[in-house]
Structure formats: C-alpha cells, structure tokens
Structure 1
Amino acid sequence: MASTPLDLVLVSTPIGYLGSGRGGGVELTITSLLRGLGQRGHHMHLVAPEGSRLPEGCEQVHLHPVAGEDQPSWQHADPDGPVLIPSQGVLPKLWERALDLASTADAVLNFGYDWLPLWLTPRQHQPIFHLVSMGSVARVIDALLLDLARWDQRRLAFHSRRQADDFGLPNPPVVVGNGFDLSRYALQVQTGGPLGWAGRVAPEKGLEDAVSVAARLGEPLLVWGLVEDPAYAARVEAAAPAGTIQWRGFLPTTALQKELGGCRALINTPKWNEAYGNVVVEALACGVPVIAYDRGGPGELVQHGVTGWLVPPDDCDGLLAAVQQLDAIDRNACRHWVECHASQAIFAERVERWISRGLAPGDGSISTCP
C-alpha cells in the first residue's frame, strides 16, 4: 500500500480500444498497472477509445470511453513522415477528456506513443508522465522526446535500457520494465512439446525466421497473435512446407498461457529494437525457455544459459543450434526470474516511485515556484 495514495488519470493508446489486441503489448501494460496501482491504494480514471472494457479486478477504476477514429500507428509510418491526425481522430478527444479530469488529479500517465501528448506536456499546468512504449521509429517523435528530456526528463520512463538508448537522452533513463499477474500463469515443468512463437504478425516481428527453424526440424510451429499484416502472413506461410505453421489466433491470457506453457521453447525473432518483450516474460512465467535474438528488450530479459539462449540477430543457424540445447535449461529457473523481476506488484511499485519522485519539489518543471 502506498504511503500517500495518488489520484491518477491514465490515457490509453489511441490505436484501437482496450481489449481489441490492436494496441499490442501496451494493452497488457495498462491492465497490469490498473491492477497493481489499484492494489497499492491509488485512485484512477482511465480514458480510452470507445469499446474499451475494464479488465477483471479493476472495478474501482473509473472508465471514460471516447468516440473517434483510430490513430495511425507510427510503427509502420515513414520515419521521415509528417504528423497525421484524422479529422475525427480519437487522439485529440482522448486528451480533451484527460485534461478535464486532470484538473483535480495529481498526475496524468500517458501510454500512447504519439506526437500530441508529448507536445502538450511542457505547455500544460497538469503534470503529464509518459511510459514510452517503443524505440525510435519516427524522427519527429525522436526530436520531441529529446526536447522533453532536456526540459524535464523526470516525465519519461522506459521499459528497457536498450529501448531508451535509441533516444540519446541527456541523463540516465528511468527503466521500469513491465509487470504480470503471475496468478494467471501456471508453471508447466514438462520438457517436451512443440515450438512456439507469439506476437503481432507483422514484418518487424520476424516470424519467417522461426518458421524456417521449424521447417528445418520437420515439425510444426504454434503461432499466437493478431495477424496485423495478412499479406505478410500469407507470404511466410507460402514459403514453408504445408502444415508448418499452426495458427492459434489472438487468445486471452488464460487460454494463451495454457497452450504456450506446453511448448518446449518460445522462439523470439524481432527485426527491430523491441522496447521490452511481453511474450518473452509470459513464456518464462509458464516455465518455457526462450530462444531470442540478442536485440532490444529481449536481450535484457533472457538470461543466457539460465532461462534460455540469446542468439546473434538474424542468425537462423544460431536459433537451430539453441533448440538443440534446451535440455540444459531448468524450467523452474524461468519462473523464478519472473517472480523476482517482472511481477505485477514489482512493476506497480516502480511506476509509483517514478511518478512520486517526479512530483516531488526539486529541479525541474514540476517543482513548485518559491
């Protein structure tokens, strides 16, 4: 329980309603914090696109649904492209509502990776904090993040150090990781089972590399996640022997962890600088070793030779060799790492500490004037 409960306004991603799966890992992050901060006694309002649902166990949170058109994702935009906001876009409407609520709140916590909330931050009396969800994908965002860091870097936190390194920050970053409700993940200690892969099915996730490993082994690969790019998914499937990919779809946590926990390994093959790697931790929570490219957040999450194996980026031969060393991994060690480093409670405490320190008087724009 926090010594001084905070009144917080949380602003969800503008890329799909909460529960749609379109927000990717941000949805899991929001759910974890709603539960974790609630258990610590904080009072929360959640501003989210219309259609959003409060997760189970978050009945004390006040939900404020906002209608509007989804915001285009920066993830797939031209890195040198302009800022685009649809004429009926939900993004500015989310922030109109959030700033209204913020007049009686201690702070606003933003989860959307976009230009508008970053631009608003130094121009508002209400303190706005940003849990940055991606690495560098657009120069206009990079420049704005750096300007904000120079103004008051206490407003920013990141999921991993490798993610933060993308932005050339003037000071060491606040790194909060992520958190998981471990009561929802069952440890499965059997060592057999198929290989698995999980994530949004899109080119930057590198599904084709995991498929190639399964094909060389002559066995199926179970694939979970939202098919964000159907043309890409079709190309990957067509390039592999028939039946290699077993599409499992986008599943809620209860169903996902049950199936994923039966795998002998999760293969994680990002082609970009992943901010964290939620599916890596979800697998480890089930006792499933992870074989991952040593790139971005997964390179900080997997303990080489203890909870899985790290492979040089884009090295499919290395992935294959690692599959053949899985017997050396103790599945209990995988679960133990998550309990020590990525529980919902630990994550909520880190975020609480970050915001509380940012609100405290001292150097920076949030401090009260003498």
Structure 2
Amino acid sequence: MTTKPHKLLFISTSVGALGTGLGGGVELSLRNIAQEMLRRGHKVQIVTPAGATWNDLPLVEIPGNLQIIAQSQERTDPIIMPENSVLANMWEYARQVQTDYDLIVNFAYDWLPFYLTPFFCCPVAHLVSMGSLSDALDKIIVQTGKNFPGTLAFHTAAQAETFPTLTQPVFYLQSGIDVSLYEFCESPKRQLAWLGRISPEKGLEDGVRVAEITGIPLKIMGKIQDASYWQNILQEYPNAPIEYLGFLSQREMQKIVRECQALLMTHRWVEAFGNVAIEALACGVPVISYRRGGPREIIQDGKTGFLVEPDSVSGLVDGVLNLSTINRDSCRRSVERDFSVTALGDRAEKWFDSILGN
C-alpha cells in the first residue's frame, strides 16, 4: 500500500445510474476499484446519476438527463448534451468539491471531462472505457494524454491501438474481480451462456445461430439496450433454443454461468476488455470469443477457451465441439493469477501514485 492514503473522487458514467446495468462493464470496474481502494484505507466518494441501486458504497447522486450512449452515434456526429445534462451537473459538483480531494478519476466515455481537465486545480485521471468511436472524442483524448502525461489509463493494448495518434505514456489497468464471489463448477449442464448488453455491437445473433446449429440451449443475460434489435433476433430465429433471463445481479448471474459449458463472446466492435470473460473463467467456464479487442489478451487459446476468426459463426461452433479439451481448473487459476481484485487494486494504486508523484 502507499505510505499516504489518497482522497479520491470517482465520477461515474453519465449514461445510467450505478446498478442499473446501463453502464455495462464500467459499473463492475468502478465498483471493484472503489471497494479495493476503501479496503486499503483510501477515502473514496463516488458521483453517479440519480437512481443508483448500490447502497454499500459512498455515493453522491446527481439529478439530470442522461447522456446518449457513444456507441449509438456515428463517428462524425457532433458532441451532444441534453438540457439539464447530468454529465454537466456531475462535473459542476466535482468543480465545487475538488479541493477536498487529491485526485478525480473519470470513468465516463464523454467529451466534456477531457475538455474540462485543464480548468481543474485538482488533477484528473481518465479510465478510457471503450475503443475509438468518435472523431471529436478521439481528438480530445489524444490531446489530454499529450498535455497531461500519465493521466490516461486503458484496459488493454488492443483498446489503446484503436487510437493511432495516441502518444505514450499510457497505463494499462486491465480489470479484476473478487474471485471468492464466483463458485467453481466442475461438471456443467448441456447449455451455453451469453452475457452483456443486448445491442447491435455485441453481435448476439451469432450466439443464437450457434445455439440453433448445435442444438445446445443458450442462456442470455443482460440489459436490453436496443429493444428493436432484440425483437428482430426473436423473429429471425424463432426456433433457436434460447432463453432470456434478464439483467441479473452478480450472484444470480454466476449461478447460471457456472453451470454452462462455455461463454460465447460475439462482439462486432473492439471490446476494451471484456469483464464477462473473467467472470466466466472464475467459475471454471471456458470462453469462446472472436479474436477482437480485449478478449484476445484474456483468453489463452486452447487452454482457457478459444479465440476464433472475427464474425465466423463456424469458428464458434468448432470451439463448442472441442470444449472437452479445455481444463476448467485452468480457467479458474488464470483469473486467480492475473485478474483478482487485489491485482487490479495494485495496478490502480500504482497509477494513482504515479499521477500524484508518490
């Protein structure tokens, strides 16, 4: 641990209140980093849009209208903020209380926090949660990294590579979970899992096609972010053996996932990391994923799952047919070694220390 505890202000995503699932993997990353920092004796305050369901962490809930999710916009779209923007309101709160903190940590994939960085007297660190999606956001992220070296963190090198003009140094935080919360299962049922936001960039229809081809039931869990997309899948694959279980808590989710033969990751974009991968592996569940983005740095091909050609449903099917070659104990051990919440805390603390000159 650092010799001096830090006073940290975490600013959450502006697309949804914490606990609603609208923030995707950002919610899990923020929760685990916050809990580990508190365990290590640091002071942490979290700023979130109003309506959060978490009651075990120190929250300040800010009212206002939610931000449009970045992945629903085109690269050249202008930066848009709604009237009474919760994003602007959260950062106005941060401005008012900044002298009470050593470091502000931005978890939101939004243009405004990067733009505001030079105007704060308190240093601002940015955990960039997605790959390149917007020309305007790319420009301000690269500019911030150049003007404030060391304040940018990415989950993986695969994610950072999507920003081709980015200069060093940047920090690779990866991710981590409390492995003790995930129960290992040696003997799964004949079923597969798919976990994540239900929206086009997640490619759920490919997982449904695998279920249809193999005849193995697919358990689908996650927030329906695009209802029309979900309805189109149901109409196109009316006979596929799928079951939608909703957006589940971590405890409910891992009860289902651990009894699955594998988790399918069918993303059509560059995943910054892929928290669902390490959650499955912690249960001993192999991951069959497209070789795209963060999962290629998590999954050991042939040992903890399979990395297949992007957008190749036949590759996913081949992975399912070869699951008997994967040792589920190896899946669990890989997370215990590389992606525990302690390892994540070590990396986060090192990043914070480097910014603060400790």
TM-score range relative to shorter protein:
over 0.9
Aligned to 1:318: 315
Query: In the aligned structure 1, how far is the partner of 2:238 from the partner of 2:146?
Result: 52
Aligned to 1:254: 251
Alignment of 1:177-326 (within 5 A): 177-326=174-323
Aligned equivalent of 2:95, options 92, 95, 99? 99
Query: In the aligned structure 1, how far is the partner of 2:148 from the partner of 2:60?
Result: 29
Aligned to 1:26: 26
Residue 148 of structure 2 aligns to a residue whose secondary structure is helix
Query: In the aligned structure 2, how far is the partner of 1:46 from the partner of 1:195?
Result: 35
Report the Cα offset of residue 4 of structure 1: 1.3
Could you report, residue by residue, the CA deviation over 1:233-275 in whole angstroms, capped at 9, with x for unpaired residues?
1111222242522001100000000111000001101100000
Q: Any gaps of 5 or more consecutive residues in structure 1?
A: 362-370
Aligned to 2:67: 71
The residue type paired with residue 279 of structure 2 is E
Aligned to 2:130: 134
Deviation larger for 121-130 or 164-173:
164-173
Aligned to 1:338: 335
Query: In the aligned structure 1, how far is the partner of 2:53 from the partner of 2:35?
Result: 14
Query: In the aligned structure 2, how far is the partner of 1:82 from the partner of 1:167?
Result: 19
Aligned equivalent of 1:87, options 72, 83, 93? 83
**Alpha-carbon spacing, 1:178–1:151, altered in 2? closer, same or farther (3 Å):** same
Query: In the aligned structure 2, how far is the partner of 1:326 from the partner of 1:308?
Result: 8
Aligned to 1:364: none
Report the Cα offset of residue 123 of structure 1: 2.3
Report the Cα offset of residue 99 of structure 1: 1.9
Report the Cα offset of residue 2 of structure 1: 3.3
**Alpha-carbon spacing, 1:55–1:32, altered in 2? closer, same or farther (3 Å):** farther
The residue type paired with residue 127 of structure 1 is P
Aligned equivalent of 1:114, options 90, 100, 110? 110
**Alpha-carbon spacing, 1:264–1:308, altered in 2? closer, same or farther (3 Å):** same
Please report the RMSD computed on the Cα atoms of aligned residues, expressed in angstroms: 1.3
Q: TM-score, normalised by structure 1?
A: 0.94
Report the Cα offset of residue 84 of structure 1: 0.7
Residue 193 of structure 2 aligns to a residue whose secondary structure is strand
Aligned to 2:44: 44
Q: How many residues align?
A: 357
Report the Cα offset of residue 191 of structure 1: 4.2
Report the Cα offset of residue 28 of structure 1: 0.7
Q: TM-score, normalised by structure 2?
A: 0.97
The residue type paired with residue 42 of structure 1 is H
Report the Cα offset of residue 153 of structure 1: 2.8
Query: In the aligned structure 1, how far is the partner of 2:188 from the partner of 2:84?
Result: 51
4+ aligned runs moved over 4 Å, structure 1: none
Kindly indicate whether the alpha-carbon contact (under 8 Å) linking 1:174 and 1:354 is maintained by their aligned counterparts in 2.
yes
The residue type paired with residue 146 of structure 1 is V
Query: In the aligned structure 2, how far is the partner of 1:94 from the partner of 1:285?
Result: 34
Query: In the aligned structure 1, how far is the partner of 2:331 from the partner of 2:13?
Result: 30
The residue type paired with residue 120 of structure 1 is L
Could you report, residue by residue, the CA deviation over 1:97-146 in whole angstroms, capped at 9, with x for unpaired residues?
11222212100001011011000112222100000100001000000111
Deviation larger for 293-302 or 166-175:
166-175
Aligned to 1:6: 6
Kindly indicate whether the alpha-carbon contact (under 8 Å) linking 1:9 and 1:101 is maintained by their aligned counterparts in 2.
no
Q: Is residue 173 from structure 1 mapped to residue 170 from structure 2 by the alignment?
A: yes
Aligned to 2:145: 149
Query: In the aligned structure 2, how far is the partner of 1:35 from the partner of 1:55?
Result: 13
Kindly indicate whether the alpha-carbon contact (under 8 Å) linking 2:211 and 2:240 is maintained by their aligned counterparts in 1.
no
